[in-house]
Homo-oligomer: A and B are copies of this chain.
Amino acid sequence: MLSIGAVERDTGLSKDVLRMWERRYRYPTPLRDEHGERVYPPEQVTKLRAIKRLMDRGFRPGKIIGLPIDELSALGTSHASSEQRDAGIVEVIELIRAHRLPDFRQRLQQMLMRQGLQRFVMDTVAPLTVAVGEAWVRGEFAVFEEHLYTEQVQGVLRNAIASAQGQGRSPRVLLTSFPTEQHNLGLLMVEALLVVEGVICIPLGTETPAVEIVRAADAHRANAVALSFSAAFPDRQASSGLRELRALLPRGIEIWAGGSCVRRLRRGIDGVQVVKSLDQVSQLVGAWRSSHGMP
């Protein structure tokens, strides 16, 4: 049984939205505690998570909020399972669920060696992370299993980045996310791809306010700022934040925005490059280099 604040943290739906939905769609239907405050049963929280997940994919709340939970997961899976899943991915997922930590770590390392860093990120880590996220929403993955997954992959990626990192040359790229966006895996994936291209990376971790991004870009003479937005990040904040940053940042510095959230932005933002897939990272670097007279 969770309070409205706890549900906000758990689902990413703001208190205002939770109350508004209740008024407007008659769902969720929380009970009340002895002092008249909303208390959400676990099933409703699970369903809310599923709804949020679908909204992140572009569904609209009014259309799906009435559906029962199994239809919601059907909607979620129908899309994903259509892209045939690599047998390797399934196998790795099973290792986490069986809590075979050393085997899991070793398997990751093995795939990294076999595929090389670039293919490892694009063909293994990215789909694996999506699969883990979906399994978590369906309740097939415990919270701690997802944490453990994230931690292990982070370790492997950071390790690979350190090994692949050489002298590096322009462009100089600053990597970070806006406040409230805590997901680091996306940033690490991009950093890995950039390091492969021989780019100089300045990783700031997550949650840097716009003003600080500007100061950092200045101090480190960055040529571009790369921002990551997970699916859970609210669209509005993304576009307003990007506009704000564009206004603050000198025009000479490019902005690259990527992640599931910006993928569904309708209109492009002036002066911001939207990166819809990890493939484009390499092209972006190439474009920057050729337009700045580099081989």
Known contacts: A179-B9, A240-B6. The answer to whether A151 contacts B203 by CB under 8 A is: yes
> Does A17 sit at the interface, judged by CB under 8 A?
no
Separation of A151 and B240 alpha carbons in the complex (Å): 27
Quick check: B151 and A101 within 8 Å, CB to CB?
no
> Does A220 sit at the interface, judged by CB under 8 A?
yes
B-contact 0/1 string along A137-169, CB 8 Å cutoff:
000001111011011001100110110000000
A25-33, A204-212, A249-257, A282-290: which lies at the B interface?
Answer: A204-212
Q: List the 8 closest pairs (A to B, CB-CB), nearest first.
A: A144-B216, A144-B212, A147-B204, A151-B205, A143-B212, A99-B219, A9-B179, A158-B158
Known contacts: A158-B155, A179-B10, A215-B142. The answer to whether A205 contacts B5 by CB under 8 A is: no
Separation of A292 and B174 alpha carbons in the complex (Å): 50
Chain B: minimal CB distance from A177 (Å): 11
Residue of B10, B182, B209 touching A10 (CB-CB under 8 A): B209
Separation of A204 and B101 alpha carbons in the complex (Å): 12
Chain A, 216-264, CB within 8 A of any chain B CB: 216, 219-220, 237, 240-241, 244
Extra pairs beyond A6-B244, A9-B179 (17, CB < 8 Å): A9-B180, A9-B241, A10-B209, A12-B179, A101-B220, A142-B215, A144-B219, A145-B216, A148-B203, A148-B204, A148-B205, A154-B158, A154-B205, A155-B158, A158-B158, A158-B159, A159-B162
Q: How large is the interface on A (under 10, 10 to 19, 20 to 34, 35 or more residues)?
A: 35 or more
Interface residues of A (CB under 8 A from B): 5-6, 9-10, 12, 99, 101, 142-145, 147-148, 150-151, 154-155, 158-159, 161-162, 176, 178-180, 182, 202-205, 208-210, 212-213, 215-216, 219-220, 237, 240-241, 244
With both beta carbons as reference points, the residue of chain B lying nearest to A201 in the complex is identified as B101
Chain B: minimal CB distance from A109 (Å): 9
Chain B: minimal CB distance from A218 (Å): 10
Separation of A145 and B5 alpha carbons in the complex (Å): 32
Quick check: B161 and A155 within 8 Å, CB to CB?
yes
Separation of A268 and B202 alpha carbons in the complex (Å): 43
With both beta carbons as reference points, the residue of chain B lying nearest to A203 in the complex is identified as B151
Residues of B within 8 A of A209 (CB): 9-10, 143
